[in-house]
Amino acid sequence: MIDFNVNYADEFVKEYEATPHKYPDSIKIVIKRYKKWKKRKDIWFDNDKANDMLYFTETFLKHAKGKWAGQPLILESWQKFFFANIYGWQKYNADGKAVRVIRTAYLQVPKKNGKTIMGGSPVIYGMYGEGVKGADIYISANTFEQCQNAAIPIGLTIENSPDLRPGTRIYKGKEDTIRSVKYTFVEDGIKYANTLKVLTKDNAGNEGKNPYINYFDEVHAQMDREQFDNLRSAQIAQEEPLNIITSTAGKQTGSLGSQIYAYGKDVAKKDDDDSWFVMIYEPNKKYDWEDRKVWEMVNPNIGVSVNMEFLENAFLEAKKNSFNRAEFLSKHLDVFVNYAETYFELDQLEKVLVEDLGELEGLTCVVGVDLSRRTDLTCVDINFPTFDDEGNPILKFKQMYFIPEFGIEEKEQQRNVPYRELARNGFVTLCPGKTVDEDMVDEYVQQVFETYDLRQINYDPALAEKLVERWEMLGIECVEVPQYPTVMNEPFDDFEVLLLQEKVFTDNPLFVFCASNAKIITNINNLKAPSKRKSPEHIDGFVAFLIAHKETLNMIDASAEGMDELIGSIYR
């Protein structure tokens, strides 16, 4: 039972401080933010409002299935911390009324850690417990079937509750699927209705919608963000809108979930968006996926709804092939990975990304250009063989991507890549019209020539001849680098060595997207090259890097001796 004299957010902080080694760094960041917020003067923590929600949940909600079916829902300490933050933090709005600070809450936990409860509880509380009149609530997922994973437990909870059932009508479809729920009630002689609706991607428009709560489930599986954006923008008239987003990690780097995850991580780290609350249970950097302590650290309901025997069995399957390993990492360790059939793992590639490459002006460099598809993404890559502070050879590289402005919004939605935002940050050049502007590519290379010590331009033979002629007139050696395995295998292998040794760095996040999409082809001699045709999305930035690295691998002291076995154990 909830004690209204207790601050349950503080209780969770005490538990963390007693045994911090049992919690991942991602939770440490959340607790640091909570303690920082308690010192602020512009917002405050209303313990009564936090406990109102906790009390309602534990009083009126019961487990709908499983071994606890029919029993009251008793929240774990971390769950109370999550809800207390959402409902406890308050501020004054423009009219001087106290309202919630948090408008979007993102929870990412491994499978079987009570994620459905965490999404369903705010929905039921919004329908019945908050005192909101005329509330419209929406459940959204990638498919109608996935929506049912969230909607059916909510429907069963209502049907099994003598306190919630009166005045409620549940509209069902085939096979007892939940279509909508309507709760009607009378207050001061006036009749009101709070409504819950289940959506699919087929009704993505926001016309006529005015959501009080949006519940987005399993966003890792969604590739189209239109419905997500529309439902959130439709909340503009709401005084205290709330978006609940729950998910596990996924295996699609371009998914809506991976974008939300990246934004949430950034918010948690920088504390620069008060409207978001982010709670992610994921391993620390350089984790050992076979370490049972890591398993326990990222599964907050270990010993409750998750048991070690289940994880051990899943682990045995994961050791047998790369597909099962990707499944184990994403579903049970909460790590975003790419499709098992792509070559690199996302957590490996993310190590190349840094915020600042340092001073590069005047350094020796080689350019790689991939301009094979003028109607879409193309890349100019600049490789700088240089040294770190200890004098060890490393490779830094900058990239500029070029993409036509025509259809850019559609491309952003299709791939979940914010090209226009990346352009504002200097990583992408938007070309007017329907094709990549060769003059803009040439202008950029000319700037590289003037800024750095450009020794060579490597290019794919598909490159327009007139560009090569212009660059040769500058006195720069231009070298064809075909994308055949006999040519690309050596720079590919050397990149793997640099990646494993953590000796390669870039500041352009679009490279991670490109490299994580790469599938490979091999010839009869087992030499490999990235395949644009087989890769699920664009890999142009990775190809441009390899084209340049065909030369820079000979300019740095990066020996592959003793690395073959290590590479073989990690990559397929």
Q: Which of 104-113, 229-238, 254-263, 310-319 has the lowest mean pLDDT?
A: 254-263
Mean pLDDT of 543-566: 73
Residue 371 has what pLDDT?
78
% of residues, the chain, pLDDT over 70:
92
Q: Of 520, 538, 514, nearest to 373 (Cα)? A: 538
pLDDT exceeds cutoff 60 at 139: yes
% of residues, the chain, pLDDT over 90:
68
pTM: 0.69
pLDDT band at 526 (very low <50, low <70, confident <90, very high): confident
CA distances (Å), origin 10, targets 13, 16, 40, 50: 5, 10, 16, 12
- By DSSP bridging, strand 213-217 and strand 519-522 are unpaired
Digit-coded pLDDT (tens) for 270-292? 999 999 999 999 999 889 999 99
Residue 563 has what pLDDT?
42
Q: What are phi and psi of 381, to 5 degrees?
A: -110, 140
Digit-coded pLDDT (tens) for 483-516? 899 999 999 999 999 998 999 999 999 999 899 8
Residue 207 has what pLDDT?
58
Digit-coded pLDDT (tens) for 447-474? 999 999 999 999 987 766 788 999 999 8
- Structure-model confidence comparison of residues 12 and 346, the more confident one: 12
In SS3 terms, 169-230 reads as EEEECHHHCEEEEEEEEEECCEEEEEEEEECCHHHCCCCCCCCCEEEEECHHHCCCCHHHHH
pLDDT band at 558 (very low <50, low <70, confident <90, very high): very low
Q: Of 454, 422, 442, nearest to 380 (Cα)? A: 442
Mean pLDDT of 427-438: 93
d(CA 370, CA 380): 7
pLDDT band at 566 (very low <50, low <70, confident <90, very high): very low
pLDDT exceeds cutoff 50 at 102: yes
- By DSSP bridging, strand 528-531 and strand 519-522 are antiparallel
Instruction: Give the three-class secondary structure for 525.
Output: coil
How long a stretch of residues is the chain? 572
CA distances (Å), origin 11, targets 51, 297, 561: 13, 18, 52
d(CA 275, CA 102): 4
pLDDT exceeds cutoff 50 at 388: yes
- Structure-model confidence comparison of residues 330 and 565, the more confident one: 330
d(CA 430, CA 508): 16
Residue 353 has what pLDDT?
94
> What strands lie across the sheet with 168-172, from one edge to the other?
168-172, 178-187, 190-198, 136-140, 213-217, 242-247, 104-108, 276-280
| Token pair 């050992």: residue | 288
| Token pair 């087989």: residue | 534
pLDDT exceeds cutoff 70 at 570: no
Q: Report the DSSP beta bridge partners of residue 108.
A: 247, 280
Residue 68 has what pLDDT?
66
Residue 255 has what pLDDT?
81
Residue 253 has what pLDDT?
66
Specify whether the CB–CB gap between 510 and 428 falls below 8 A.
yes
